[in-house]
A and B are shown apart, each in its own frame.
Chain A
Amino acid sequence: MEVLQLLISGISQGCVYGLIALGFVLIYKATEMVNFAQGDIMMLGAYVAITFISLWEVPYYWAVPATILVMATVGVILERVLLRPMIGEPHFAVLMLTIGLGFVLRALAGAIWGNEPRALPMPYVGDVLRLGEVVIGYENLAIILGTALLCLLMWLFFSFTRIGIAMQAASQNQLAAFYVGIPVKRMFSLVWALSAAIAALAGILTAPVSLVDPLIGFVGIKAFAAAIVGGFGSMPGAIIGGLLVGVVEQFAGLYLPPGFSDMSAYVLLLVMLVIRPQGLFATMQKKKV
């Protein structure tokens, strides 16, 4: 029973990693940029939700879509203002830009909402679901179900909608996408909107479990490890990688001496890089010259 219990809390934590990793992968696949501020965008999403729910007392069924919408807009603005001028610049410049963006967002959040941890009072917090001896908190259940629903929506979007397929096309062959008339630059904005919206959802889901402070965005680093474990560039891989990291972390926390839990994501990353450097779901495609 203990194993099952650990597995479930690992999966719920892993879903959060997976969602952030998904944001990394989406942006990377579409624009070949790595957005290291992904975790901080999640943090911002959590704070926006807190602002709506705790400060302005908007009912949560309005607040959640509003938060996602606000963050999608933030994503578009970031892309238009900061990232688009960087097209064609070296990768490390973009990297530094997004790392810097992370610092700015953390400082900004501290200035606006303060540095002491805040809670996001979602209506389901505190209740538990009992399945035999296994106890699942509703907030954990919400994370798992929310992630599953999002994955389903993403799959439908990318497989069947015109825009979704065009986004795939633009990420597979940017030049050809231009030539068939796909507005590739607008697709980039859309990808940023999408990944910021996913980060916002991750923030909303994780906020009831862990309190929100300006530094929670640092889980982004673990999520980054998860994205690599999954094979950077694969969307299912990002989720699976996230789940793996989450589960391994929980087990390491119980069965290994203290400290190993926080380390486990990176140990997993190192092991993966040694035995299967391309990640679980490799999507490395040959670049044509």
Chain B
Amino acid sequence: MSNLLEIRNIETYYGPVMAIRGVSMDVPQGKIVSLLGANGAGKTTVLKAISGAMDPQKGTVTYDGVDIQGHDPDWVARKGIAHVPEGREVFPFLNVDENLRMGAFSRRDAEIQQDLDMVYDYFPILKELHKAQAVNLSGGQQQMLAIGRALMLRPKLMLLDEPSLGLSPRLVHEISEIIARLNAEQGVTVLLVEQNAKMALEVGDYGYVMEIGRIVMEDTCERLREAPDIQEFYLGMKDHGVRGRRRWKQRKTWR
């Protein structure tokens, strides 16, 4: 099994602040990889370093055998990496149809219409609203639009940044089902960044956990679900057993 994306030792800075302190990750072809971590752990920065919105000062990002770090994000997108940024980031004053068609901007083939129908198949609600301005859509609909727009690129790799952000549990479930379906039916490889660990570990094949700019744990999602640290910190399954574990004393970080 080959890796579609390999990240080796990347470091990035926001001014003097080091956001990623040497992260290495593999995203195997055809899999869903989840990246977990609390606020400020550097998850989003990893995605930005992949898609070219930020250039890593050190390290390499290899996609499909080619080093892609240091290129502009539009170049990276044209290589087949679709980044669905945090907070949806639709084009507010374009309608749904135009938003989706913009997703296929870099494509010139004749199958754009076919892919548009496919996106409408996945998200029937968007078809109903296809003439509505994106700004008037609800949060969940905008998230679907952002994912649909990314699909229009016909990506090999999708970077999803907190697709569950601000959505109701039902919608979170719906989105995670869509992600699983896209992976299974379209063969899209997914790198999923999430704070919603439950969802991320259910839908993912392999998981990484980040803290303060470093990868502190990695394993299959199945095993991560069972790991006591993950259960306590991310899944909220606190063990109310003997004398109640006082986690702030025991362990503040994994470093």
Contact = CB atoms under 8 A, between A and B. Distances in A.
Contact of A182 (B83, B84, B92, B102): B102
A184 B91 CA distance: 14
A179 B93 contact: no
Interface size class of A (residues with CB under 8 A): 20 to 34
Interface string B56-79: 000000000000000011100110
Nearest to B93: A172
A48 to B, nearest CB: 33
Interface residues of B, number: 31
Contacts, number: 80
A181 B94 contact: no
A162 to B, nearest CB: 7
B94 A172 contact: yes
B187 interface: no
A130 interface: no
Contacts of A172: 91-94
Interface of A is mostly: helix
Given A175-B53, A179-B83, A180-B149, A169 B102 contact: yes
A180 B152 CA distance: 9
B34 interface: no
B87 interface: yes
Interface string B78-110: 100011110101111110001101110110000
A87 B222 CA distance: 46
Interface of B: 51-53, 72-74, 77-78, 82-85, 87, 89-94, 98-99, 101-103, 105-106, 135, 149-150, 152-153
Interface of A: 162, 165-166, 168-169, 172-173, 175-185, 285, 288
For the complex of A and B, the 3 pairs showing the least CB-CB separation, nearest first, are A181-B77, A181-B106, A178-B73
